[in-house]
Amino acid sequence: MYGITPSARLRPSPFYDATVKEGVTNFTTYNHMLMPTAFGDPEAEYWRLMNNVSQWDVAVERQVQLKGPDAGTLAQILSPRDLSKQKVGQGKYVPLCDHQGILINDPVCLKLADDLYWLSIGDSNIWFWAKSIAAERGLQVEISEPDVSPMAIQGPKAEEVVANVCGDWVRDVKYFWFKETEINGIPVVVQRSGWSKQGGFEIYLRDGSKGSALWNIFREAGAPFGIGPGGPNWCERVESGLISYGGDTDGTTNPYEVRMGKYVDLNVPDDTIGIQALRRIAAEGAKRHTLGIILDAGDPVKPGFLWNPIFKDGKKVGDLTNCIFSYRLKKNIGFALIETTCAIGDRVEARIGDAVHPAKLTDLPFL
């Protein structure tokens, strides 16, 4: 295991002290910040998410704030999903594309007011992107990074914990909808969301000086429900078919290749970035798609940092973008970003280093 060197280029989150107290052992970096990824017992962290409730520092999901009379116009220009019917208090999962229709992020877009939006982003710099587009098109909108840091409460008992802290109204919040409120005087946004399929909420802390206080409120309220620390769980997210921008995408990936086609509305305005390219891709059909893949190997394999090539009949047909040993399936499962000539049920080979792994393509999600 290699260490990570502290640097002002890699900020800790407002929950850093709390996660250190929880015994964090590993971090990744994401949007120039540190995100806890492990607390010493990966399997316990997995089952806690599956059976009880898990508490995550996901402050790295930074907010690109659009504020001003043209905020809504800019949000729509940036997104090929139709936002015209989005209500205040509603979030929508949106692909962001460049002018060639290549995916550059996949945020949740929160509409806080007619003139105020947050893009809760994945791991790429959308501040620069939004600023350049706004300036080049002469829009009246200010782009900034507000003091907002999400914490996730995930798992089948998450709703009990959040209701315990915030009140029973949270039970009626629909998926991706949110409400601005306070918890013991700490300003937050409470949204039903989170990067797992086990259900739960994200609590957007709006005062970075209150990270430990907010963490501890949920830690205490969650104790009767078996709460404990965790982070976006690699195994659960692969089992559930959740795509990671930057992990399962490359510099040429369009939304259709990674199961996001349903979030593209081809009738958005013509000035939406990338829409001409997306209309063409939709008409022609994408050249790759994302399927599940199960390796024959019975023991856990180590895929390393990089993508690994997938072959069919001796020819490279795609890439194994991730691979993990599933605690529930007891198999090595992953995603294949692969030519559309390859289909569910096909036999292929994944080459990891010098090893050749026979494998089968499957549908997603696995579970």
CB of 50 to a copy of itself, least distance (A): 20
- Single out the segment in contact with a copy of itself by CB under 8 A; choices: 124-132, 161-169, 280-288, 293-301: 124-132
Nearer to a copy of itself by Cβ, of 105 and 120: the residue is 105
Nearer to a copy of itself by Cβ, of 136 and 354: the residue is 136
Tokens of 161: 């914990």
Q: Is 248 in the site for a copy of itself (CB under 8 A)?
A: yes
Q: How far apart are CA 93 and CA 97, in angstroms?
A: 13
Q: Is 314 in the site for a copy of itself (CB under 8 A)?
A: no
Q: Is 247 in the site for a copy of itself (CB under 8 A)?
A: yes
- Which listed residue (47, 89, 90, 98) binds a copy of itself by CB under 8 A? 98
Site for a copy of itself in 269-298 (CB under 8 A): 273
- Tally of CA atoms within 13 A in the half-sphere of 203 that contains its CB: 33
Report in angstroms the alpha-carbon separations of 95 from 101, 121, 131, 264.
10, 10, 18, 7
Instruction: Dihedral sign for Cα 334, 264, 173, 89, please.
Output: positive
Q: Is 307 in the site for a copy of itself (CB under 8 A)?
A: yes
User: Closest Cα to residue 31, out of 169, 126, 103, 108?
Assistant: 126
Binding mask 19-38 for a copy of itself (x = CB under 8 A): -----xxxxxxx-x-x--xx
Q: List all residues 6 or more positions away from 10 whose beta carbon is below 8 Å from its beta carbon.
A: 4, 29, 32, 33, 34
Instruction: Dihedral sign for Cα 306, 311, 316, 317, please.
Output: negative
Q: Is 355 in the site for a copy of itself (CB under 8 A)?
A: no
CB of 8 to a copy of itself, least distance (A): 5
Q: Is 117 in the site for a copy of itself (CB under 8 A)?
A: no
User: Closest Cα to residue 340, out of 302, 298, 301, 312?
Assistant: 312
Q: Is 181 in the site for a copy of itself (CB under 8 A)?
A: no
- Asked if residue 202 belongs to a known ligand binding site, the reply is yes
Q: How far apart are CA 228 and CA 43, in angstroms?
A: 13
Site for a copy of itself in 37-56 (CB under 8 A): 37-38
Q: List all residues 6 or more positions away from 53 whose beta carbon is below 8 Å from its beta carbon.
A: 153, 154, 155, 156, 157, 158, 160, 161, 200, 222, 225, 226, 227
- Single out the segment in contact with a copy of itself by CB under 8 A; choices: 187-195, 242-250, 310-318, 348-356: 242-250
Report in angstroms the alpha-carbon separations of 247 from 26, 60, 124, 244.
18, 16, 11, 5
Q: How far apart are CA 117 and CA 86, in angstroms?
A: 11
- Single out the segment in contact with a copy of itself by CB under 8 A; choices: 18-26, 279-287, 310-318, 340-348: 18-26
* CA–centroid distance for 307 within its chain: 19
Q: Is 99 in the site for a copy of itself (CB under 8 A)?
A: yes
CB of 110 to a copy of itself, least distance (A): 21
- Which listed residue (251, 267, 283, 314) binds a copy of itself by CB under 8 A? 251
Annotated binding site: 202
Residues of the shown chain interacting with a copy of itself in the complex, contacts defined by CB under 8 A = 1-12, 24-30, 32, 34, 37-38, 98-99, 104, 123-125, 128-129, 131-133, 135-137, 145, 244, 246-248, 251, 273, 304-307, 321-322
Annotated binding site for substrate: 202
